[in-house]
Amino acid sequence: MRANGGFTEYASPPYTFIVLHEAERALFTLRPSPLREAVADIFRLCWDDLVAALHLPTGQLCGPLSLTYADTLQPGIVRDIEERLGAGLFHPANPADANNPLALSYPIPARPFPDDLRRPLLERPPETFTRRRYVVSATDPKRERTASRWFGDDACLGSANYENLWTQRRPLIGFWRVADTVAVLRASIRHDGDRDFCSGAMRIHQEG
């Protein structure tokens, strides 16, 4: 993962949390060993991946999202983040799949956020612009993925430099607070009425 620049499925709400929960379970059961150290590295990579995209004022993961089943975070995932972060996120009145929170439940205690990642997140300036490279390839530039993210007081917008339009991908997506709800801006290509054109792709250049 380090050689690749991070997770290939970067900023993926369901799958990052599957890996995170499994890492928590392994850290709870494994004795000190090189294997446990490797799992601890994966646990940290999960939170590093999420912190880079998490926008507390909207309670959402700023785009781009490599794989997700809904534009906004499911309530169960929001609760998982709050429990480990020790701080509250905004809970919109229009959550995604409220009756299907997509949260895993294991009989193990949650492990807290790594403190060196928690503090920068809670102390992030009101307006911030970041870039992060997720996928690195020395042989195929098309495989490389760089995320550009703008975080504001009550809105965020993020995009990938290049990404295909597979149904579960969100190469450009943003959120902003509207009273007690969250509005979504999402770029896509459609065909056959209202279906994602999965064979399509986008190149995006975001400056702020």
Going by C-alpha positions, the residue among 91, 148, 159, 81 that lies closest to residue 121 is 81
Q: What percent of the chain has pLDDT over 90?
A: 53
Q: Identify the top-confidence range among 149-153, 187-191, 193-197.
A: 149-153
CA distance 187 to 157: 11
pLDDT tens digit string along 78-114?
A: 988 999 999 999 999 877 765 554 555 656 788 888 9
- Asked if residues 72 and 175 have their Cβ atoms less than 8 Å apart, the reply is yes
| Of 140 and 168, the one with more pLDDT | 168
Report which DSSP code applies to 170.
B
Count CB-CB contacts under 10 A for residue 74: 23
